[in-house]
Amino acid sequence: MKDDLDLPEGYRAEVVGGRTVVSPTPTYRHARIVHGVERLITGILPDDLVTLQMVTVENAATGDRYVPDLLVMPIAVADGEGWDGPEWIRPMEAVEFALEVVSPSSALHDWKVKAQGYARSRVPLYLVVDPRLGEIALFSDPDGHDYREVARAVRGGHVRLPEPFGVELAAEGLLG
């Protein structure tokens, strides 16, 4: 993908499954969901981890580039230590947690393609919040091809983020 792609105002680009995907920037509801998850986990993170929004991460093996709504990674990696790639990209393999909030145009990518991509990069935890379906899902235990575990919850239920987070995420609170 060209690093200087000229996009219409209010749009962003990702490389998903080898294809360039252009999508509108998030809605207010979308942003509130991301903010809610970030507030829950920021205060409980170990000192060497940081939450970041809208950061491009790249799968070294495939060249796919995702812009997760929220991620957690080591501060040293976020600061670029040991990274010789472009300043605006970080290695997907360093991500500890990724969040995607599904929008109508991103459902297939968020539920299928990105889940497989994050699993290939061995991202330990991948959370999908889907307001359209009224469901959240936590993918965990990646084997390098896919996730072996998926915990799902609808309104009234919850999923538990394991350590280093150690917190329950209530579907109701995230879905609104």
Strand order in 147-154's β-sheet?
A: 49-52, 70-74, 97-101, 125-130, 135-142, 147-154
**For the segment 137-172, what is each residue's pLDDT rounded down to a tens digit?**
999 999 999 999 999 999 999 999 999 899 999 999
| Secondary structure E strands in 83-173 | 89-91, 97-101, 125-130, 135-142, 147-154, 158-161, 167-170
Residue count of the chain: 176
**Where residue 4 falls among pLDDT bands split at 50, 70, 90?**
low
Contact of 48 with 73, CB cutoff 8 Å: no
Q: How many C-beta atoms surround the C-beta of residue 39 within 10 A?
A: 10
Domain ranges of the chain: 26-175
H or E segment to which residue 102 belongs: none
Side chain identity, residue 166: G
Collect all residues with Cβ–Cβ distance below 8 Å to 39 and sequence separation of at least 6.
none
What would the pLDDT profile of 46-73 be if each residue is shown by its tens digit? Answer: 999 999 998 999 998 899 999 999 999 9
Give the amino acid at 42.
T
Tokens of 86: 């472009």
pLDDT at position 16: 81
Can you give the pTM of this predicted structure?
Answer: 0.86
Enter the CATH code of domain 26-175. Answer: 3.90.1570.10
- Among 56, 54, 61, 53, smallest CA distance to 18 is for 61
